A and B are shown apart, each in its own frame.
Chain A
Amino acid sequence: MIKSNSGIRKADVINRRMFIIGAAKIVVFAGIVARLFSLQINDNKKYLTLSDKNRIREWKLPPTRGNIVDYYGKVIAGNLKVYQLHIIPEQVENFNYLLLRLKNLLDLSDKKINKIKKLKEELKPWDSIIVSENLSWSQFVKINNYLYDLVGVKPVMIISRNYPFKDMYTHVLGYVSQPNEQEILENEIVQERFVPGMKIGKLGLEKRLENHLIGTNAIQRYEVNAYGKRINQLEHQKGEQGSKIRLTVDTEIQKSCAELLSEKAGSISVMDIYTGDIIAMYSSPSYNPNLFLFGISQDEWQLIRNNPLKPLIHKTISGLYSPGSTIKPIVALSALENNVIDTKFKVKCTGKMELYGQTFHCWKEKGHGWVSLKNAMKQSCDTYFYEIARLLGVDRLSITAQKFGLGKKVLGSYFDNEKKGLFPNTNWKKNNLGKGWVLGETLITGIGQGYIQSTPLQLCMMTAQIANGGYAINPKIVVDNNPMNIDQAKKLMKDQHLHDLNNKLFKNKKNIQIVQEAMFSSTNERFGTSYKSRIEDPKYQFAGKTGTAQVKRISKRERELDLELEQIPYKDRDHALYVAYGPYVNPRYALSIIVEHGGSGSRAAAPIAKKLFKLIIDRHDLRKKQSNYEEISI
């Protein structure tokens, strides 16, 4: 009982204490309810707005691309203000009525209207729909006049790429356009900075230098409610324009190239023979890159694509041609270097050469008679070069040709559409065609026909390296941090000559001079193939070599017919080529010209050089002054 008593007493204590606790519990719970009341009822409005305004959101705007300028700082790829028309669906009272109004005002197609309607379904009501990417000024004014009636419509000004010289630089620069998904994923920087409406380089330097040109996004910070809708703009952080890129090209010369090749298919490249700067690089015909900025129309695209002169091909670096007689300086040099011939070596040209029952024709049916190297080069005697090629062999010839840049890319990785070309030798044929080399193939290689294929830029570089005395150069189109002037480049070459034999492309300097003299006579002496295109003023005097590349085999019948150019179908006409450098004394520039199906080098290509050289050399002093022009960095 005592125990029981104690238990009851204990229970009493417990109950009493529990009562106190119970009271405390009620008080505490009441406190919590009061707190809930104060937060949820009293301060509800305050917290509701805080919740609504909660999230800070950033909107990235498209970055502004860096300008691309020519050697003189002239903008060749710049930016332009463009007027666009946006609709903000949630502000629109009657969407269909608005579309009807816009359709009338802007002449929108039904297809476009349907596209807008589809976009409206896909986007959030506060996301703007782009109705027109590029309003003309008159459209812009019209819209602004009727703006009172167009609730929810917003005219917007944006920055867009612009190519002021239209089709002049298309093949060099490429163009920008909206990227597809894969292009965004391929480039980390693009992926990071991508916003709808941003355009990236699709081709040429715009593509190659994307990461330098792209610029950084401007950022707008908005406070948004929990539903993601913008309430007010907090901050506008300016983006940085992409790097300015300076090219080695000269717009005046480029323009002249374009004019000289107008209506023709072909290419002109001009190069500084010491620094490797590309002064001009034009492929004809070209097309207007501005068409691609806001999506090219199907009709315009078909027009470009189906043009028989193939404007989409960058002929200067992707066009592969037989060099024809323009290869002869290299054949001559190779023969001299390998001591196969000397200047006194003579061949009798009878107009053809028989070898194992096969006849190899010289272009001059009657033949040139006894010719030495100089005369052979001057009159472009094929028989002479058949003979020295035969003596030399294709393998020794290909070593010299490859040294001078044939068969490899000139600009390395700068253009992904650049082609390597081909200079064949016996191994190449065995490995690639599985057949043994035939001596007849050596003969036609000696006059630049057969397997041999080269780009116009390779021929230009080859000529430049003969012109500078036989030293290797690194052609470039983008001005780097410390562009060398000509004196520095010359000095560097002399030093290389002493220290580094790899950059010296000859064994005996005299051989180069012999070839140079032969090229001089070809242009400046009577009976020279380009004698008609000579300039006698020593300031502009140049040396060169014509070339006429057959595009098909000439049949016996055709040879007998001896048709005039106009009588041959366009597709079957020979390509006209010309390589040259000048001025002859103290040379500085080399060029290569090719006119597709132009007939012959002396008639179609060499006269272009005459017109061009005067301009190139006249602009030399100006270029020299610009050489220290600093500003660009990539």
Chain B
Amino acid sequence: MFQHDKLNNEITFFQKLKDLDYILLFSVMLLSAISLFVMYSTDGGEILFHTKNHFVKLVVFFPLMILVAFFNIKLWHNLSYIIYLLVMLLLIYVSLFGIKSSGSQRWMDLYLFVLQPSELMKVAIIMCLAKYYHRLKIENVNSFLSIIVVLSIILIPIIFVISQPDLGTSILIALSGLIILWLGGVKIKYFIYSFITFLISLPFIISFLKPYQKLRILTFLDPDRDPLGAGYQIIQSKIAIGSGGLDGKGFLKGTQSYLDFLPEKHTDFIFTLFSEEFGFIGSVGLLVLYSIIIFRIVRIGSLSRSNFARLFCFGYAFAIFIYIVVNLSMVLGLLPIVGSPLPIMSYGGSSMLATMIGLGIVLSAKINHKQMIA
């Protein structure tokens, strides 16, 4: 054990470089390249604002991922709680002094770009809970106290995020946290009980939703009730995807997006444009690419010696999976519209930053997969 520690501390730069997961890296790069082409298409076949900015973000955050990877996983383990607390402070800061835009207050101005701390919380919560379960004795996993602690860890940031208001991100944070509880070994019956409780209290929860959120749910249930208003996004998105067919309308030929039928085509509805232009084949291809990324992360998790790395990787793989599922279900009309970006593909700095940091920690786990953490 001691030997391993020593061994890992002495990993040279080239050794680290060699130990990176190149399939994962290649997949992420390919995805980045695709995202640039799609961004170019949303800009109407020209290199404009979104394409340029997206490119700059990729150029900045991709090396950041490698940098994160080159720090020992042990360091990330040690910093987990502090990172969680820092992000928590940012959330509080935003709730007090954040920038307001279209009715919500989620952002802070960092001069170079506008940061959305709730995106960072999606990664921080996994780190924090992974560390908590790493250190928790297995006998205490189902103790009353530990359940209370982990639920607090999840609920406190959610309260802030939901009051921004940002339902989409809150759900993603909640699911990212809950998956660690699941992986950590919380009894299945607790999940079942709380799910039943959730169903029963659903009408109560709905009464707390903002009018526009209620409208989204109603619209999801019947998009045709207001085809030019609330249902517009879902209908147009389905038309765009459906009209893409087997092989799509061709790059830069997505008529739905070019005639501006698609709302928010840079961010949450980026998949719609991609799918319209590249069709079923392209869409499934993209899903396969995402699956490879998820699979590689899971593989790194199962190679890891420390439970922290294992929990983080599994948890993060699930988080990416859930981001994709929520986003795709939304644009495919399977779920109500909640704002949630598609990792790497969607335009947005904070989401990209969080994704790259998460992937960096995963790669650090790969390089240091033999590292034991006390």
Interface residues of A (CB under 8 A from B): 6-7, 9-11, 13-15, 17-18, 21-22, 25, 28-29, 32-33, 35-37, 39-41, 43-44, 46-48, 50-52, 54-55, 225-228
Contact = CB atoms under 8 A, between A and B. Distances in A.
Contacts of B362: none
9 contacts: A10-B138, A14-B307, A14-B314, A18-B183, A18-B314, A39-B242, A39-B332, A44-B242, A51-B239
Contact of B275 (A36, A43, A50): A36
A509 to B, nearest CB: 74
Nearest to A26: B291
Contacts of A40: 241-242, 244-246, 275, 279-280, 283
Interface stretch (B73-81, B164-172, B255-263): B255-263
A331 to B, nearest CB: 75
Given A29-B287, A32-B287, 11 more contacts: A10-B133, A14-B185, A18-B183, A21-B183, A32-B332, A40-B244, A40-B279, A43-B242, A47-B239, A48-B242, A54-B255
A18 B283 contact: no
Interface in B209-262: 238-246, 255-256, 258-259, 261
A10 B241 contact: no
Interface stretch (B17-25, B46-54, B294-302): B294-302
B311 A32 contact: no
Interface string B289-323: 00100100010011000010011001000100100
B117 interface: no
A22 B310 CA distance: 14
Contact of B182 (A21, A22, A33, A54): A21
Given A32-B332, A39-B238, A17 B185 contact: yes
B328 interface: yes
A33 B286 CA distance: 11
A9 to B, nearest CB: 6
B6 interface: no
Nearest to A49: B243
Given A18-B298, A21-B179, A39-B332, A33 B259 contact: no
A14 B298 contact: no
Interface in B170-187: 179, 182-185
Nearest to B334: A35
B332 A50 contact: no
Interface of B: 133, 137-138, 179, 182-185, 238-246, 255-256, 258-259, 261, 275, 279-280, 283-284, 287, 291, 294, 298, 301-302, 307, 310-311, 314, 318, 321, 325, 328-329, 332, 334
Nearest to A37: B280
B118 to A, nearest CB: 24
A21 B240 contact: no
Contact of A41 (B245, B256, B325, B328): B245
Contacts of B259: 54-55, 226, 228
Contacts of B246: 40-41, 44
A47 B287 contact: no
Contact of B243 (A21, A36, A47, A55): A47
Nearest to B307: A10
A6 B138 contact: yes
Nearest to A228: B259
A396 B301 CA distance: 111
Nearest to A40: B280
Contacts of B256: 51, 54, 226
